[in-house]
Amino acid sequence: MLREGIKKGIKKILSAGGFAVFRSRGRFFQEGLFTVHKDHFRQDPRFQEAYLRGLQAIGDPHAKFEWRVHVALWAAATGLRVPGDFVECGVNTGLISSAILQRLRWNTLDRRFYLIDTFSGPVLEQFSKEEIANGRRAVVEIAVASGGYVTDLGRVRANYAEWPRAIVVPGRVPDVLPGLGIGSVAFLHIDMNCAYPERAALEFFWDRLSPGAVVLLDDYGYLGHDLQAEAMDAAARELGTDILSLPTGQGLIIKGGSAVL
């Protein structure tokens, strides 16, 4: 009884200070996202199959990106409602795109999925002075040196070999984009950890996006990526759209369906 009384007293004090106390057992806490709300999607066999395929691509069976992948799968499936191919700018090991290809049964679809990346890490000279001052380029340099970015193109191609219409494209964004001959686009995923190529990718593909197409930004609201968010917000204003900020750190745009706030 004494122990329960102490616990209630602590809870009362914390509540008075504006804090909430929850039992964390069985709740979701990954990548800075904590919620007491339902995460039942994690038990869906279709999600589990897709997520495990994504983990296979990165070579880490214990990595925790579940809600981020859940959002990506929803966004990609929504993209199937409109005509066009899929594009990912910033692939690295292929977590997100591999999960999508698995979940959507890509070989049953008459669409191409363009997978565009340098496959040597972000382009260092594309970082702005502000990003360098904020330490973003230094973070990337450390990640490249420690093997955080895939540089084995053979490994990448082997990962996607089971999907003939998944097209691996080595090259810099935006330089490589005009020569690909990509027509209408239904889903665009942007994840290059640098403001300049991310904004350039959105602007390049905007007129190619079908009405109702989905754009998913991987780092839009993520801690430490403020300059990327500012660049994308500026681009969105010029394009007459707005970006939904998600608690996973991702950002979401529906072409023709995003209100300008």
Binning pLDDT at 50, 70 and 90, where does residue 29 land? confident
Spatial distance between the Cα atoms of 128 and 124, rounded to a whole number of angstroms: 9
Q: Is residue 12 part of a domain?
A: no
From the list 31, 27, 103, the residue with the least C-alpha distance to 67 is 31
Question: For 190-202, what is the mean pLDDT?
Answer: 97
Binning pLDDT at 50, 70 and 90, where does residue 39 land? confident
Binning pLDDT at 50, 70 and 90, where does residue 102 land? very high
pLDDT tens, residue by residue, 122-166: 999 999 999 999 999 999 999 999 999 999 999 999 999 999 999
Directed axis angle between helix 45-58 and helix 66-79, to 10°?
A: 110
- List C-alpha distances in Å: 12 to 1, 3, 4, 48, 118: 16, 14, 12, 40, 54
Q: Is residue 10 part of a domain?
A: no
- Amino acid, res. 183: G
Beta bridge partners of 134: none
Q: Give me the CATH number covering residue 128.
A: 3.40.50.150
Spatial distance between the Cα atoms of 208 and 212, rounded to a whole number of angstroms: 12
Q: Is residue 148 part of a domain?
A: yes
- Considering Cα of 223, then 225, then 227, then 228, what sign does the dihedral take? negative
Please report the pLDDT score of residue 37 as a whole number: 83
Report the predicted TM-score, pTM, of the whole model to 2 decimal places: 0.88
- Considering Cα of 138, then 204, then 88, then 238, what sign does the dihedral take? positive
Spatial distance between the Cα atoms of 155 and 159, rounded to a whole number of angstroms: 6
- Amino acid, res. 48: Q
Q: Is residue 28 part of a domain?
A: no
Q: Is residue 190 part of a domain?
A: yes
Q: Is residue 195 part of a domain?
A: yes
Which domain, by its residues, includes 201?
A: 41-254
Mean pLDDT of the residues in the chain: 90
Please report the pLDDT score of residue 32 as a whole number: 77
Burial of 167 (0-12, 13-18, 19+ CB in 10 A): middle
Q: Is residue 29 part of a domain?
A: no
Six token digits for residue 17:
């200070």
Spatial distance between the Cα atoms of 246 and 255, rounded to a whole number of angstroms: 17
Q: Is residue 17 part of a domain?
A: no
Number of domains in the chain: 1
